[in-house]
Amino acid sequence: MQDLLYFSQQLINGLTIGSAYALIAIGYTMVYGIIGMINFAHGEIYMIGAYTALIAITGMTALGLAWLPLILLVALICAMIVSSSMGWAVERVAYRPVRGRHRLIPLISAIGMSIFLQNYVHLAQGSRNVGFPALIEGGFTFGSGEAFQMSLSYMQITIFITTLICMTVLSMFISRSRTGRACRAVSQDLGMASLLGIDTNRIISVTFVIGAALAAVAGLLLGMYYGSVDPLFGFIAGLKAFTAAVLGGIGSIPGAMLGGLILGVSESMTSSYLSGEYKDVVSFGLLILILLFKPTGLLGKPEVEKI
Amino acid sequence: MTTSLKKLVTAIGASVALMGAGHAAAEIQIGIAGPVTGPVAQYGDMQFSGALMAIDRINEQGGVLGEKLVPVEYDDVCDPKQAVTVANRLVNDGVRYVVGHLCSSSTQPASDIYEDEGILMITPASTSPEVTARGYELIFRTIGLDSMQGPVAANYLADQNPERVAIVHDKQQYGEGIATAVRDTLKDKGVEIAMFEGVTAGDKDFSSLITKLKQADVEYVYFGGYHPELGLILRQARQANLDATFMGPEGVGNNDINTIAGDASEGLLVTLPPSFDEKEENQELVKAFEAKNEDPSGPFVLTSYAAVQLIAEGIEAADSKDPFDVAEALRSGTFETPIGTVEYDEAGDMKSFEFVVYEWHSDGSKTPAK
């Protein structure tokens, strides 16, 4: 019973982090699915989302607002707006001018953008860790007395539910809406979609905006869950989410979800049954193994060579 | 033309040399090298006020070997490059004793020059173990080393008779070094160490670690590292209802930990250098500082005072003004100073330097732990 509770607790920890990875991974996977490039500045968009949410929360608290749902809603909307415009601007400034060139050029442009955004936040917000107020506190406790008690906090539940809602809405948007259909068309064949009258530039912008908005949601959730943000906040998270995207099959949205959850759980299981020191070894080892044996990822479709 | 110029130069040189000789016969110059300007100048103020007070008081009592001490002040801005310039100027000025420098990164390059040129240096503030780890003969300090905090923390923990202790570190030189020292001392004392584990500096999610700590049912957690990680661990542990007391080194004891951890930083144990100005035997000295309208409570005021006093007593004990003889005397003697009884080992470190365990409060204040 003890061991079971311990296992479940670590499973919950892993699934919480995993869902957040999945939210960030969507941004990588959608962009890759449509224009075949890896947007390395995506981790920074997520970090900016967290900072924006923090600034909004601090501002509202200073104004004396105390109704929690309102604070969260406003913070979420602010973070999504700022991150989305960032995502849009980054695409417009750094990627569109070099689109269609050699594959390496947008990649290098993305790395440059990532370094630029990181340092911009360093300058604008300072390099210190900033504390995030704990807005959602408390939770359920299982198990009693002296023995190990499993806890499931309201914050963790919020992360699960929000991720679930975001994923459902996104899937419906992609499969049902007109823009979603255009997205799928562009990802299948950009040239053909353009010939058939789809404004591909607009669709690509929409992809960046959606990815950035989801990253902002993750930024707010994880900022509250962890408790602090700093300008390097997005770097490791970005790498992990990228790993999750590749693991699940880059270009596939359900794949990103699955990859995120597998990565989160395998990290927390490594920490609990092996040692926390091997956490990153396992997650990046997993990336290498997947790239070696199943380069298309768990749910990815093998790429057909286009002539 | 050239010959007359040569003569002139020779004449000037000779007179300067004579002046220098006359100068040295009457008094002993004590160089004080530290940041007078720059971002850490407030620490420099502490150093200068402590050293100047010591020089005044020693001169009042008749000086050293019948000669007066004369302070010579140098500004290194706590910049390694300027520290080298300062060291070279000291050499040219014929100063043979230095109280300084303050920042370890300045002390390190400057001490290379002092050792080569036969100048005795005592740093009142640099705690990096590297400073005295190079087998130098003339380099001393009146402050503890980073590595001395570990045993202090471990002894405190052992005295609480805990059933199980966990040790976590950030896998970096400072943090893992202290954590290892804590572990070794605890092992010697027979305390059970339930966990010894590293986290990655810059990591944000410690939920797995905290679950493990809960499972291990530990009473104390020692963390070797800095405040950004410990702040998050404290906060996440509080949310997960982990019932354990945390402890950390000097690197976690600053106000940033309160902004990250909030209320969860209440009751954290931290090892820090003691407040020497609160010791009873120093009250007369504290009054002397207050009479001059100076504050003796800064961490480096009395360590600088002690550095000057050690130079003076070293010269008297050696009955010689040769820095090598003085160094020899410092290594073999025992000295009573405001920072306690000082004895030196071969490396030039104090055999014991007190670190005190403080209890940290969420408003940023601290009180000595019971």
Weakly modelled stretches of chain B, pLDDT under 50: 1, 16-25
Q: Report domain A10-135+152-293's class.
A: mainly alpha
Interface predicted TM-score (ipTM): 0.86
Q: Count of CB atoms within 10 A of residue B301's CB?
A: 28
pLDDT given for residue B2 in this prediction? 52
Cβ-defined contact of B214 to A149 (cutoff 8 Å) = yes
Does residue B236 sit at the A interface (CB-CB below 8 Å)? yes
Give yes or no for residue A226 having a pLDDT over 60. Answer: yes
> Quick check: B204 and A222 CB within 8 A?
yes
- Please name which of A165, A303, A297 lies closest in space to residue A244, comparing C-alpha atoms: A297
Q: Which residues from B are below 8 Å from A236, CB to CB? A: 202-204
Using a CB–CB cutoff of 8 Å, tell me whether A283 touches chain B.
no
- Least confident span in A47-56, A101-110, A207-216: A101-110
* The pLDDT of residue B41: 78
The 3-class SS string of B48-102 reads HHHHHHHHHHHHHCCCECCEEEEEEEEECCCCHHHHHHHHHHHHHHCCCEEEECC
Maximum average pLDDT range among A54-68, A73-87, B242-256? A73-87
Does residue A235 carry a pLDDT above 80? yes
pLDDT tens digit string along B105-145? 899 999 999 999 999 999 998 888 888 999 999 999 998 88
Our CA dihedral for B17, B21, B27, B33, rounded to 10 degrees, sits at 40
Q: What is the pLDDT of residue A125?
A: 85
Cα A170 from chain centroid? 13
Q: Identify which of B202, B208, B259 has the shortest CB distance to residue A268.
A: B208
Interface contact B204-A6, CB threshold 8 A: no
For residue range A112-128, list pLDDT tens digits in order.
999 999 889 988 887 77
Does B207 contact chain A (CB < 8 Å)?
Answer: yes
Min Cα–Cα distance to chain A from B224, Å: 15
B254 at A interface, C-beta within 8 A: no
Tell me the domains of chain B and their CATH numbers: 2-144+278-338 (3.40.50.2300), 148-272+355-368 (3.40.50.2300)
Q: Which pLDDT belongs to residue A50?
A: 95
**B197, B203, B260: residue with CB nearest A227:** B260
State residue B7's pLDDT score. 60
Residue A304 and residue A254 in contact, taking contact as beta carbons nearer than 8 Å: no
Hey, which residues does B360 pair with through a beta bridge?
B366
- CA–CA dist B212, B199 (Å, integer): 13
Q: What are the structural domain ranges in chain A?
A: 10-135+152-293
pLDDT at B23: 47
Give the strands of the sheet with B192-198, arranged side by side: B192-198, B164-169, B220-224, B245-248, B269-272, B356-360, B366-368
CB-based contact A280 B200, cutoff 8 Å: yes
Instruction: Give long-range contacts, CB 8 A cutoff, 24+ apart: B139-142.
Output: B139/B111, B139/B114, B139/B115, B139/B348, B140/B310, B140/B327, B140/B330, B140/B344, B140/B348, B140/B349, B141/B348, B141/B349, B141/B350, B142/B303, B142/B304, B142/B306, B142/B307, B142/B310, B142/B337, B142/B339, B142/B342, B142/B350
CB contact under 8 A, B240 and A232: no
The pLDDT, as a whole number, for residue B49 is: 93
**What is the arithmetic mean of pLDDT over A174-192?**
90
Q: What is the per-residue pLDDT across B39-81, written as a single tens digit (0 to 9) for each?
A: 777 788 889 999 999 999 999 999 999 899 999 999 998 888 9
Over residues A45-54, mean pLDDT = 95
